[in-house]
Amino acid sequence: MAQGVLPVFQFDNSYARLPDRFFASVYPEPVDGPKLLKFNAALAAELGVEADLSDPTRLAATLAGNVVPQGAVPLAMAYAGHQFGNFVPQLGDGRAILLGEVVDSKGRRRDIQLKGAGPTPFSRRGDGRAALGPVLREYIVSEAFAALGLPATRALAAVATGEQVYRERVEQGAVFVRVAASHVRVGTFQFFAARGDNEGVRTLADYVIDRHYPELKTKENPYLALLDAVAARQAALIARWLGVGFIHGVMNTDNMTISGETIDFGPCAFLDEYDPMKVFSSIDQQGRYAYRNQPGIGQWNIARLSECLLPLLDADEDKAVDAANGVLKRFGETFQAEWVAIFRQKMGLFSSIDKDGDLIQALLGVLHEGQADFTLAFRRLADAAEGRDEAFLACFSAREKAVEWLASWRARLEAETQSGAERAAAMRAVNPAVIARNHRVEEAIAAANYGDLSFFERLMQALEKPYEERPEFADYMTPPKPEERVTRTFCGT
Ligand code: AMP
Ligand code: MG
């Protein structure tokens, strides 16, 4: 086979131009046998990346870090973070290397990062590597988010390294190629604040305003506006997670972006049956990051960010604290407003009245008690909007309460003029039929561990059009059978 050209990136690396203490320059450590597992050609096109798919070997060599493409300035970012509530003053990219930034076809600057590309000065005791399972999980869930229309980092590629990594057991190594609006986190601010480096905090704040919130530059107090904007994006994001039954799993401050994208799909999962206290992550013994706790944790993380920004908010410390408290209060209000708006849509409401919150809570109570599948029940509620209740009611272990709730819902619908068909169509556009169900993700990973990527490929196809019920993917719409249930998702980092 004739050798194709290496992938070409039009890099322009703004983070690398920040002061030295923001990162460590480090090259990826080459791997033995890079093999392309999956390449996101559509995303590559959006990023203006020229890649020769007819030569996957050369493509894999670059995406695994064996060949550093021209124009890249590889680096590991410095950051700190609260992990499960405990502050760690230095974390940093211990196994991720930022190759550089490109400006996409819509003019947005995007990071291209290799996760699992080898040790960095921030690796501590880690090996700098990633295992195949977690890489595929991150690939699957990031692209599922994109198809659902939720903000998240994206997957450009997954590459096997041909090497082993040692976790709870021996696993195959892999590199995940991640694309992000940026990798700046709450923890990045904490890194400088913890060192009393106010100049660093200011430089970083100016950087993220430029990159993510340029409209704030002309505000009277751009730093307060920044804090408010990050809080609003995170509040809206978490409301959207709850709307699709998503549990992030590790909402540490180092896993919360400033851009408002979901990042770090580790031990994350979507709910099957509705349970507000559901936890998947095996490392979350206390249920800190349970489904229902996510908005409160989001606010807690924003409080940590506000502590970092205090010196920039006001020269008078009391006034700065007051301003930050205002932001935290608005976080709660924004979350609540977004949450109600999302669940109103999920219930097919076109108008809004004060009591809608109660109607939502009542439905969630009935779902919980009836052990109903969250995704399927909302999807089948659209059928009920057209007068067919059976499939909805079949989601519940006992129907009585669901029947009662349907009556209260119908009474509420009388205030509206839309036809059943109109309502059902609107509901199907917001209530997915297909989500990345945990047992399907696990199935895809288990097969891939035996060298069979067909389950992964088919799952990716099923997730492409989550709001459509395609008969060929009917088996991806149903909840797990008892023997298929996955109760814990291991971090597997
Ligand atoms: P994560 O759980 O992926 O959010 O990572 C938390 C912190 O641990 C980050 O600083 C990572 O860079 C670091 N880390 C996780 N896994 C590894 C690894 N295998 N080698 C080195 N550092 C790691
Ligand atoms: Mg992380």
| pLDDT tens-digit map of 361-371 | 999 999 999 99
**What is the Cα–Cα distance from 148 to 471, expressed in whole angstroms?**
19
pLDDT by residue (tens digit) across 416-443? 999 999 999 999 999 999 999 999 999 9
Other Cβ atoms closer than 10 A to 256: 28
How far apart (Å, rounded) are the C-alpha atoms in residues 97 and 110? 14
Q: Summarize the confidence of residues 334-352 as an average pLDDT.
A: 98
Residue 78 has pLDDT above 90, yes or no: yes
Q: Report the separation in Å between the CA atom of 255 and the middle of ligand 2, taken as the mean of its atom positions.
A: 5
Q: Is the pLDDT of residue 484 over 90?
A: no
Q: Which amino acid is at 487?
A: T
**CA of 115, nearest ligand number:** 1
Catalytic positions, written as ranges: 254
The residues pairing with 88 across neighbouring beta strands, listed in sequence order, are 81
Closest CA to 136 of 479, 486, 489, 484: 489
Confidence of residue 282 (pLDDT cuts 50, 70, 90): confident
Q: Sorting pLDDT into bands at 50, 70 and 90, what band is 490?
A: low
List, in sequence order, the alpha helices (H) in 283-419: 294-313, 317-346, 356-369, 374-385, 390-393, 400-413
What distance in angstroms lies between residue 21's CA and the mean position of ligand 1's atoms? 20
Share the mean pLDDT of the chain.
96
Q: What is residue 152's DSSP assignment?
A: B
What separation in Å is there between the alpha carbon of 79 and the centre of ligand 2? 10
Q: Which ligand is closest to the CA of 176, given by its number? A: 1
Q: Separation of 444 CA from ligand 1 center, angstroms?
A: 24
Termini Cα distance of the chain: 37
pLDDT for residue 488 is more than 80? no
State the closest ligand 1 atom to the C-alpha of 125, by its place in the atom list counted from 1: 21
Per-residue pLDDT, 493: 54
Q: Would the pLDDT of 238 be above 70?
A: yes
For residue 152, how many other CB atoms are within 10 A of its CB? Answer: 22
Render 403-422 in DSSP notation, one character per residue.
HHHHHHHHHHHTT----HHH
Mean pLDDT across 226-250 = 98
Ligand 2 midpoint to CA 350 (Å) = 39
* Residue nearest atom 13 of ligand 1, based on CA coordinates: 94
Report whether pLDDT(228) > 60: yes
What span, in angstroms and rounded, lies between the C-alpha atoms of 334 and 330? 6
Angle, CA 255 vertex, CA 485 and CA 489 arms, to 5°:
15
DSSP lists the bridge partners of residue 86 as 83
Long-range contacts of 356-361 (CB under 8 A, 24+ apart): 356/412, 359/408, 359/409, 359/412
Residue 489 is predicted with a pLDDT of 65
Structure tokens at 381: 């509620």
Distance, in Å, from the CA atom of 378 to the CA atom of 232, rounded to the nearest integer, reads: 26
380-402 pLDDT, tens per residue? 999 999 999 999 999 999 999 99
pLDDT of residue 4: 59
Ligand at minimal distance from the CA of 186 is: 2
Q: Is residue 131 predicted with pLDDT exceeding 50?
A: yes
Calculated CA dihedral for residues 453, 459, 464, 470, nearest 10 degrees? 130
Task: Tell me how many helices (H) and strands (E) the chain has.
Answer: 15, 12
What's the confidence (pLDDT) of residue 1? 44
93, 95, 176, 283: residue to mutate for ligand 1 pocket, most atoms within 8 A of CB: 95
Q: What is the pLDDT of residues 34-48, one digit of tens each?
A: 999 999 999 999 999
Give the residue, by CA position, lying nearest to ligand 1 atom 14: 94
**pTM metric for this prediction:** 0.97
Average pLDDT over residues 130-147: 98
Which ligand 1 atom is the nearest neighbour of the CA of 127?
Answer: 20
**Ligand 1: residues within 6 Å at CB?**
91-95, 122-123, 126-129, 255, 264, 266, 493
For ligand 1, atom 22, name the residue with the nearest CA.
94
User: 12 and 140 in contact (C-beta within 8 Å)?
Assistant: no
Instruction: Give the start-to-end residue ranges of the domains of the chain.
Output: 15-183, 187-345
DSSP SS3 for 184: coil
